[in-house]
């Protein structure tokens, strides 16, 4: 029997048009939430919102643009009421060793993966105060807990997000707003599949010695030797966003198949 933990609550999911984001959107919808599917992928975002029905709307959102964040929150409030949950899910990946990573690529990854989440937190706080509290779930990565050669910009952005999460948790605690991070390992999404696109992967540079990650080899060495399905991460996100996690803030929740344990011998 499906729980209805988000009945009457307004939820924004960034990068919500596909992959993990779409899974999160469907998970919240199943539990009664009203949803804003926020993404730059308009066709896919509108299809998903139409699939859910009158409790969902698509909102074009480039998370690096402050004015688009303001419009997203305003439209969410107008349609459904004050925002209770923000899932900062949007992200990009740009493989490449540090020595050969162009500064523009570095800045783009940090802009989307870190500054975008900062702007999201700033944008929703007044609305969450009107809702008399809320929950922010920042989607980091297992790479925010270790070093990984060949994706320096991505790793730096995910480590930075840990500090942002903890600081926001302290600053917003008296407003009844909890802020936590989730740290997935390899998940079966467009970002990790062969047909990766511009929405999740910045253009490869043939001059860079590392342009593709050997994800299959990495997965084979895990204690749980497979990729996660998006729904497995969604269940963690739903928990953190719900009142069931009412005593958790500034915390880091890992779902990595044992990646941090090291490779199985």
DSSP string, 113-176: IIIHHHHHHHHHHHHHHHTT-EEEEEE--GGGGS--TTBHHHHHHHHHHHHHHHHHHHHHGGGT
Query: Number of helices (H) and strands (E), helices first, in the chain?
Result: 8, 7
Q: Which burial class, exposed, middle or buried, applies to 175 when counting CB atoms under 10 A from its CB (0-12, 13-18, 19+)? A: middle
Span 120-157, pLDDT tens digits: 999 999 999 999 999 999 999 999 999 999 999 999 99
Known catalytic residues are 154
213 SS3 class: coil
69 SS3 class: helix
Sign of torsion over alpha carbons 98, 104, 105, 111: positive
What pLDDT sits at residue 213?
52
pTM, two decimals, is: 0.91
134-139 and 177-184 beta bridge pairing: parallel
Domains within the chain, CATH numbers bracketed = 10-89+115-143+156-193+227-258 (3.40.50.720)
In the chain (265 residues long), the average pLDDT of successive 10-residue segments reads 88 97 98 98 98 98 98 98 98 95 98 98 98 98 95 98 98 98 90 48 43 66 90 97 98 94 87
């Amino acid at each position: 029997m499906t729980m209805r933990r988000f009945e009457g609550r307004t939820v924004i999911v960034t990068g919500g048009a596909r992959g993990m984001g779409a899974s999160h959107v469907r998970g919240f919808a199943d539990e009664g939430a009203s949803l804003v599917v926020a993404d730059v992928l308009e066709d896919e975002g509108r299809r998903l919102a139409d699939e859910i029905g009158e409790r969902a709307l698509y909102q074009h959102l480039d998370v690096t643009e402050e004015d688009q964040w303001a419009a997203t929150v305003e439209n969410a409030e107008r349609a459904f009421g004050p925002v209770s949950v923000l899932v900062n899910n949007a992200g990009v990946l740009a493989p490449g060793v540090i020595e050969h990573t162009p500064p523009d690529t570095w800045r783009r990854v940090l802009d989307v993966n870190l500054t975008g989440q900062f702007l999201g937190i700033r944008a929703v706080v007044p609305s969450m105060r009107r809702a008399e509290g809320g929950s922010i779930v920042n989607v980091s990565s297992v790479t925010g807990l270790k070093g990984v050669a060949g994706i320096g910009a991505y790793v730096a952005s995910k480590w930075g997000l840990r500090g942002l999460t903890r600081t926001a948790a302290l600053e917003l605690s008296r407003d009844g707003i909890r802020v936590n991070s989730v740290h997935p390992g390899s998940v079966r999404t467009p970002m990790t599949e062969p047909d990766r696109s511009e929405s999740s992967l910045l253009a490869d540079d043939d001059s860079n010695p590392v342009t593709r990650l050997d994800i299959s080899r990495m997965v084979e060495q895990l204690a749980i030797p497979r990729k996660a399905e998006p729904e497995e991460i969604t269940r963690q996100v739903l928990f953190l966003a719900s009142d069931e996690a009412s005593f958790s803030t500034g915390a880091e929740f890992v779902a990595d198949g044992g990646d941090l344990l090291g490779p199985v011998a």
